[in-house]
Amino acid sequence: MKDWQQLTKDVTAQMRVLREGAPDVMKAFTAIAQAATAPKALDGKAKELIALGIAVAVRCDDCIGFHVKSALQQGASREEVMETLGMAIYMGAGPSVMYATHALEAFTQFDAQKAAAAADAASRAFVGKTVAEVEQDLILQTLDHCFGNRTHAANILGISIQIGRAHV
> Does an H or E element contain 39, and which?
none
Q: Where is pLDDT greater, at 5 or 118? A: 5
- What's the average model confidence in pLDDT over 28-45? 96
Q: 44-57 and 23-37 are packed helices; what angle lies between their axes, rounded to 10 degrees?
A: 120
Q: Where is pLDDT greater, at 147 or 56? A: 56
Angle at 59 (CA atoms; ends 63, 10), nearest 5 degrees: 40
Per-residue pLDDT band at 168 (split at 50, 70, 90): very low
Give me the pLDDT at residue 73, please: 93
Task: Say whether pLDDT at 33 is over 90.
Answer: yes
Give me the pLDDT at residue 95, please: 80
pLDDT in tens, 116-128: 888 877 777 777 7
pLDDT in tens, 37-87: 999 999 999 999 999 999 998 889 999 999 999 999 999 999 999 999 999
For residues 86-116, one letter each, b for 16 or more C-beta atoms within 10 angstroms of the residue's C-beta and e for the rest, the string is ebbeeeeeeeeeeeeeeeeeeeeeeeeeeee
Give me the pLDDT at residue 68, please: 95
pLDDT in tens, 152-164: 666 666 666 555 5
Task: Say whether pLDDT at 135 is over 90.
Answer: no
How far is Cα 149 from Cα 142, in angstroms, rounded to an integer?
11
3-class DSSP state for residue 95? helix
Model pTM?
Answer: 0.61
Specify whether the backbone of 23 is left (phi greater than 0), alpha (psi in -120 to 50) or beta: alpha
- What's the average model confidence in pLDDT over 86-113? 80
Q: Where is pLDDT greater, at 159 or 112? A: 112
CA distances from 77 to 15, 44, 73, 81 (A): 28, 14, 10, 6
> Does an H or E element contain 124, and which?
helix 78-124
